[in-house]
């Protein structure tokens, strides 16, 4: 939930609540921490579900507008607080549950600065450029202690998991060029999108976890979007305003396609603090695509 207050045409403020949950309502839905001992290949897993909350506060300044009162430049700042999620679950060794487990997951505070510019913005088209920078306070993620209902093999009721993560910066740039009126498609809007993200790794060699891909990332992305207005023909099948039941009919239908690929820089780990078998070189590439259909009422 979020509330916003517009002081004037140039300055707005926002305040909201962030709710984080790991729930078994859909599928497994829990957080898992897995590890393997250096001797005997013992597989250990601690999982848990729970809910925590934080808050966010934001400000947006619009120093420049066009004749229609639409922004030509926006400057924004967002603060997202640290949050603690209490988790309850099980401690599992080689597939067998040995004890109930509890722990706290600390999520970092994030400070974001952003600027958006519209070199072109009129009734026929608009071109938007945006730059966002996140400062993520991962340094608060120092260690995790897993409390057990019964002592573990070492006779202790808790398992410390060292993290010692470091703060990081994420830089994101993007652009969108949108046409509102096309001669061949007068009832359609078309948008072309592109972007790039650079994400710094937060995980040091000493506590590197191969189960969490962690290296500096370079992520290009591409997309295209279509909006069919009420009187437009949806690819020759029907008018976009005819969909729906009775009086409940959409004023427009949106169709978006997106694709991104995350290139992780090669990561060579030496001197792991607890498990030398983790030392080595890691190569990771992740691809993702998406299709979205939306109805505007």
Q: Which of 219, 199, 205, 216 is nearest to 265 (CA)?
A: 216
pTM tops 0.85, yes or no: no
Question: Which residues have CB under 8 Å from 94's CB, separation 6+?
Answer: 42, 43
- Residue 264 parent element (H or E): strand 252-264
Whether the CB-CB separation of 43 and 34 falls below 8 Å is answered with yes
Instruction: Evaluate the CA torsion angle 242, 245, 247, 251 in order and state its sign.
Output: negative
Residue with tokens 């072309």: 192
> Domains of the chain by range and CATH?
1-173 (2.40.160.60), 181-297 (no CATH)
Which range, 84-98, 109-123, 138-152, has the best average confidence (pLDDT)? 109-123
- 257 pLDDT band (50/70/90 cuts)? very high
Task: Give ∠ CA 78-83-86 in degrees, rounded to 5.
Answer: 160
Strands (E), 94-187: 96-107, 110-121, 125-136, 143-148, 158-162, 168-179
Instruction: Please name which of 182, 177, 185, 297 lies closest in space to residue 234, comparing C-alpha atoms.
Output: 185
Q: Can you give the C-alpha Rg of the chain in angstroms?
A: 24
pLDDT, tens digit, for every residue of 196-254? 999 999 999 888 888 888 899 999 999 999 998 877 777 777 777 777 666 677 788 88
Distance CA 14, CA 251 (A): 29
The pair of three-digit structure tokens given for residue 122, joined into one six-digit string: 């009129």
Comparing CA positions, the residue from 223, 228, 219 lying closest to residue 285 is 219
pLDDT in tens, 41-86: 677 778 888 999 999 999 999 999 999 999 999 999 999 999 999 9
């Amino acid at each position: 939930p979020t509330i916003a207050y517009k002081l004037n045409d140039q300055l707005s403020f926002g305040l909201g609540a962030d709710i984080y949950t790991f729930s078994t309502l859909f599928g497994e839905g829990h957080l898992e921490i897995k590890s393997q001992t250096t001797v005997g290949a013992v597989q250990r897993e601690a999982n848990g579900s729970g809910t925590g909350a934080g808050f966010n506060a934001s400000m947006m300044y619009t120093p420049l507008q066009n004749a229609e009162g639409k922004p030509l430049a926006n400057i924004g700042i967002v603060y997202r607080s640290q949050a603690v999620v209490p988790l309850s679950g099980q401690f599992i060794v080689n597939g067998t549950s040995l004890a109930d487990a509890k722990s706290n997951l600390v999520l970092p505070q994030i400070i974001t600065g952003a600027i958006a510019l519209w070199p072109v913005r009129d009734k026929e088209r608009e071109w938007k450029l945006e730059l966002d920078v996140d400062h993520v306070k991962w340094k608060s993620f120092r260690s995790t202690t897993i409390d057990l209902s019964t002592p573990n093999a070492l006779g202790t009721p808790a398992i410390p998991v060292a993290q010692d993560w470091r703060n990081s910066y994420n830089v994101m740039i993007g652009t969108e060029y949108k046409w509102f009126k096309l001669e061949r498609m007068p009832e359609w809007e078309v948008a072309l999108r592109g972007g790039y993200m650079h994400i710094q790794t937060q995980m040091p060699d000493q506590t590197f976890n191969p189960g969490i891909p962690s290296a500096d990332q370079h992520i290009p992305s591409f997309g295209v979007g279509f909006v069919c207005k009420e009187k437009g023909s949806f690819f020759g099948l029907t008018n976009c305003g005819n969909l729906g039941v009775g009086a409940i009919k959409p004023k427009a239908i949106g169709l978006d396609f997106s694709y991104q690929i995350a290139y992780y820089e090669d990561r060579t780990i030496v001197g792991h603090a607890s498990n030398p078998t983790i030392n080595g070189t890691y190569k990771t590439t992740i691809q993702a695509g998406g299709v979205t259909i939306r109805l505007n009422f």
